[in-house]
Amino acid sequence: MKNVVYNEVVYDRRIMVQKHDNSFGYYTGYIQLHFTDPRIWLDKVRTGDYDYFDKLDEFSEIDVGINYAGNLGIDGELWVGFDTASFPIGEYTEEDCVDMLERTARLLFIRTNAVSDAMAERLAKDQDAKTDERTKHVGLLLETLNDLANASAFNELGKKNKVKEKIDSAGKKLTLFLTKDMNVSLSDIALFTILKTVLSEDDKDE
């Protein structure tokens, strides 16, 4: 038998914790996905591919690991979740489960806002552009945007090592976009980087 011990909307996402009343007394926790989340997330959760979510940085706050992706039979809503059944009794409490879900909801909230702001700015610029002038490699820009959004979220959470990792990844993808779609040479990109560094040092000297 299982009882819902926590069911609240946190950072615009519903999170839920259930306690299983058996000899183990373990917990299961779930966080709701929105239909505005990345399309691949929705596709993966519909096929129950929880391994996909377990590898995503966005769900790294769930330190027990993701082992559920599905709808829970609740009004078609999509959920990603975990359980503590494989851990010693008492190692993870109800409060621990709620905390992991709240931290995940906050990270996803920051990420979603960062993506929304950047996309709104991008769409505003595109309205004045001709169709044949728009980027051919938009996928690279979207991947760059995703990395920057994650960097923003990790920065607010104080995870500096993750911020650097995501910014480095965004830089590589942006370089590919500039060379493939904008025909910018690697030497010009390198020159810009050098000038930026020199100018930054001059600012510090002043």
| Mean per-residue pLDDT of the chain | 78
Share of the chain above pLDDT 90, in %: 40
Q: Which residues contact 12 (CB under 8 A, 6 or more apart)?
A: 34, 105, 109, 112
Asked if residue 83 has pLDDT above 90, the reply is yes
Q: What is the pLDDT of residue 29?
A: 97
Q: So what's the pLDDT on residue 125?
A: 55
Q: Which residue has the higher pLDDT, 54 or 146?
A: 54
Average pLDDT over residues 135-154: 68
Residue 65 near residue 84 (C-beta atoms within 8 A): no
107, 113, 195, 206 from 36: Cα distances, Å: 16, 11, 40, 47
User: What residues does CATH 3.30.200 cover in the chain?
Assistant: 2-106
Residue 98 CA to residue 7 CA, distance in Å, equals: 9
pLDDT reported for residue 10 = 95
Instruction: Tell me, yes or no, if the pTM score tops 0.75.
Output: no
Across the range 129-146, mean pLDDT stands at: 57
Q: How confident is the model at residue 50 (pLDDT cuts 50, 70, 90)?
A: very high
What class has domain 2-106? Answer: alpha beta
pLDDT, tens digit (0-9, with 9 covering 90-100), for 156-195: 778 778 778 877 777 777 766 666 666 666 555 454 444 4
50 φ/ψ sector (left φ>0, alpha ψ -120 to 50, else beta): alpha
* Residue % of the chain over a pLDDT of 70: 68
Please state whether 17 falls in left (phi above 0), alpha (psi between -120 and 50) or beta.
beta
